[in-house]
Amino acid sequence: MSTNSLKFKTIFGSLIISIAIISLILFQLPLVASFGYEFAVILALLFFLLSGLTNLWRLGNHISLDAYLRFSFLVLFVPVIAVIIISLTQDICSFWYGISFYLILSVVSYINGFFLSEIINEIFSIYHKIIFVFVFTLIALIPLSEIYLNPQVYFYSPLIGFFPGTIYDEDININIPLIFYRTLNLLYFGLFYFFIKRTSEDKRSLIITTFGLIAISFLWFSSDMGFSTNHKKLDEILPAKVESENFKIKYDSDNLDSTEVTILLLNHEYYFDKLKRELGFNPKKKITSYIFSSRLQKKKYFGSEKADIAKPWLNEIYISKDSWENTLYHELVHCFSAEIGIGIFRLADSFNPALIEGFAEAIDNNYDDIELHLLASSAYNYGYKINIEELFSGLNFFKSFSGLSYLFAGSFCKYLLDKYGVSSFSVFYNTGDIRKAYKKSVHQLSEEYYQFLQSQINKISETQIQYYFGRSSIFQKVCPRQIASDLKTAETLMSQRKFSDAEFIFRKVLDKSNDYSALAGLINIYLQEKKYSIAEQLLNEKINNYYGTPYFYLLKLFNADLHILMSKDSLASAEYNFIVKSNPHIQLKLIAELRIDLQNNSLLKDYLEGSDSLKFQILVNMNKQKVTMSSIIPMVNLAEKIKLQSKIFLEIFHSPLIPEDEDDAYVLFYLSKYLLKNNDLVNARKLISLANRKSVASVFYNSFREQFEKCNWFIKNYNRVANKFKYQ
Ligand SMILES: [Zn+2]
């Protein structure tokens, strides 16, 4: 045996064992263990480097290509064997879902790495490995520069294939664009390799120039091909533009009418004014705000469906028509935070997510219209605790259910801001050095904060806390990616009324997990098909699995409605009363109260079976004799669905809307928000003034006060601000 061959066997053998060990370790990590996208991405990056560097080593040591290919097959097979072994003891979700990601991400990256190393070996005579690593870094910098310069949060890369952007959209699929992209990767590196191998050295410059130009033009046109999204692309998608004193807003005028734009822009200016006063600093340039027409459009061009996002370094925010009311203020704080941020991204030190999000949440101070400290102190009291020291270190922010991370990061930052002021906080934000900012350790400050929480009065019940925070993060769920993508498929089938196909998928998901959407989907199918007893049986079987989560109460409501449809009235009213008594969330309580009212008037069955406009009509008739407060929120939601003009909404009520308790006050607050959104400023203010009469004991007190302030500001500043609007 030659020394080279021995060296080859030792080195390649130990590499194969390392890959086996790495694969087994990956199966111990949260999320990665569910053999899907994350598993494939980590190996893709590793494989690109591994295949290139080992191939260059092989070439340097004159080892045959055959031997290398045998090694490569083994390397690529090892993780698959690991999956098969692991699957005997641990649930790996779906073998085929995982394998398809493995092939399209990891295996293709391995081949890309091989081709690149061969090309480098042919072109350069020395320093092959250094050049390979240099080119690898260069390729890695492309998506980084795209994230930095472009609006997009997703990216495509030859190194890992695809990165989706945020962790809040759980579904990732292998789709046509991804297959197309990976085919282009293989074609590019493969053809480059093929031609360079077959061209004599004196003619190579032509090949190199040609492939260099192809790469440059690919980058140039990648936005047009859908592999990135630059500002030009976004300007095509959202072609209308309006400017105000402090903003440029881009939108699509086909999906946003002039009233909506006016109100949106006024909201922007109102929050800008408020932030400027509160923080004492503001961005020097106009902020650009992109308003997507829907979450799906935002997903397609920007990369995030559920979350709205800001890029403080670009002074831009990306929100959508159906979510801006809840996110605008938060995203604007991110833009303001650039003033105290650091580095080229102008974010918190080390991109600390708890600091970045905590600051925005603290200033926003609104969690479903409740103040952060109110919720945090009750959550803390009922055992939903997050260790602050841990939360603010590394990426622990993403470990727990996001709502809880946001709440505690926000509440802690608010505590620091209120007690020690903005300038100390700026030092903390900018340097990450809490001791430098506060002359105290993070341990001391968190103890102080816990004591503060304990000194607060608990106004939120345990059931309500469970309703908000009895959920899991993507890292705590079973097979989240695959289930999310299965659910998307099932929802599409539902919309095509292919119920039995959808039912099959929902059942499959429910066998594996307690996913609420799958159960709700199944019940909806049975309701549509009027198979009430099957739905009832399913609910009875499953409902207790959801105890301690918000879904428990939603299922209770389903169950009660089902009883009505099956004419089991007394069972239904017991369930509705249970929801009212438990009061997991004010809106759910109001829905149950309305159901009871409708039941007493023998209208509930018609209401449940009726179309949106019939439902609305039933509620209108009900309010003719006497105002039913619990009907107002459903009426607002129905009015939006059936596109009823807000002007005639108030005409429905023949007597004045006077709140008798804090629940009524919440209803009027909700109605005031709806009217303000529809440009009825005077009535919006009138209603929130009425709501304030019963606001003292309400957990929504702060939001009522802010709504009142906002209405006043709108009335006072409408003309001044709107006169400066410049449409294009
Ligand atoms: Zn944020």
Q: Compute, in angstroms, the gap from residue 359 CA to the centroid of ligand 1.
A: 9
Rg of the Cα trace of the chain?
29
> Distance from CA of residue 60 to its chain's centroid?
48
Ligand 1 mean position to 151 CA, how many Å? 15
27-58 as b/e: b if 16+ CB within 10 A: beeebbbbbbbbbbbbbbbbbbbbbbbbbbbb
Residues 341 and 371 sit within 8 Å (Cβ to Cβ): no
- Ligand 1 centroid–CA 660 distance in Å is 37
- Ligand 1 center from residue 307 Cα (angstroms): 8
Please provide the distance, in angstroms rounded to a whole number, between the alpha carbons at the two ends of the chain.
77
The pLDDT value given to residue 95: 87
Question: What contacts 638, CB < 8 A, 6 or more positions away?
Answer: 612, 613, 615, 616, 619, 644
Beta-ladder partners of 161: 157
DSSP 3-state assignment of 17?
helix
> Which parts of the chain register pLDDT below 70?
1-3
Ligand 1 midpoint to CA 358 (Å): 8
Q: How far does residue 408's CA lie from ligand 1's centre (Å)? A: 14
Chain segment 22-74, per-residue pLDDT in tens: 999 998 888 888 888 999 999 999 999 999 999 999 999 999 999 999 999 99
Encode 649-669 in three state secondary structure. Answer: CHHHCCCCCCCCCHHHHHHHH
Q: Which residues pair with 242 in a beta bridge?
A: 249, 727
Task: Give 723 Cα–ligand 1 centroid separation in angstroms.
Answer: 31
Query: What's the gap between Cα 553 and its chain centre?
Result: 24
62 CA distance to ligand 1 middle (Å) = 54
- Residue 89, burial from CB neighbour count under 10 angstroms (0-12, 13-18, 19+): exposed
Q: Are strands 316-320 and 309-311 parallel, antiparallel or unpaired?
A: antiparallel
Q: How far is the CA of 2 from the centre of ligand 1 (A)?
A: 60
The predicted structure's pLDDT at residue 90: 76
Q: How far is the CA of 276 from the centre of ligand 1 (A)?
A: 18
* Residue the block writes with tokens 């807003």: 249
Cβ contacts of residue 198 below 8 Å, gap of 6+?
none
For 476-485, the pLDDT digits (tens) are: 777 888 888 8
pLDDT at 505: 95
Question: Residue 360: what pLDDT?
Answer: 97
Strand partners, 243: 248, 726
Distance 357 CA to ligand 1 centre (A): 5
Q: Say what the pLDDT of residue 656 is.
A: 86
CA 395/CA 351 separation, integer angstroms: 9
pLDDT at 2: 61
| pLDDT for residue 401 | 87
Sort 198 into a burial class: Cβ within 10 Å, 0-12 / 13-18 / 19+.
Answer: exposed
Q: How far apart are CA 39 and CA 79, in angstroms?
A: 10
**C-alpha 330 to ligand 1 mean position (Å):** 6
Distance 38 CA to ligand 1 centre (A): 23
Determine the distance separating the centroid of ligand 1 and the alpha carbon of 333, expressed in angstroms.
8
Q: How far is the CA of 168 from the centre of ligand 1 (A)?
A: 12
CA–centroid distance, 356 to ligand 1, in Å, is 7
DSSP 498: -
Contact status, residue 161 vs residue 153, Cβ threshold 8 Å: no
Residues 560, 341: Cα–Cα separation, whole Å: 51
CA 175 to centroid of ligand 1, rounded, Å: 29
Beta bridge partners, 157, equal 161
Measured in angstroms, how far is the CA atom of residue 393 from the centroid of ligand 1?
A: 17
Distance 589 CA to ligand 1 centre (A): 30
Nearest to 48, CA basis, from 141, 170, 132: 132
- The Å distance, Cα 292 to ligand 1 centre, comes to 17
Q: Is 429 exposed, middle or buried (0-12, 13-18, 19+ CB in 10 A)?
A: buried
pLDDT score, position 263: 95
Phi-psi region of 414 (alpha: psi -120 to 50; beta: other; left: phi over 0): alpha
Alpha carbon of 509 to ligand 1 centroid (Å):
31
Q: What DSSP assignment string belongs to 298-358? A: HHHHTS-SS--EEETTTTEEEEETTTHHHHHHHHHHHHHHTTT-BTTTTBSGGG-HHHHHH
**CA 332 / ligand 1 centre spacing (Å):** 9
Q: From the CA of 224, how far away is ligand 1's center (Å)?
A: 29
* Distance from the alpha carbon of residue 309 to the mean position of ligand 1, in angstroms: 6
Cα 327 to ligand 1 centroid, rounded to whole Å? 8
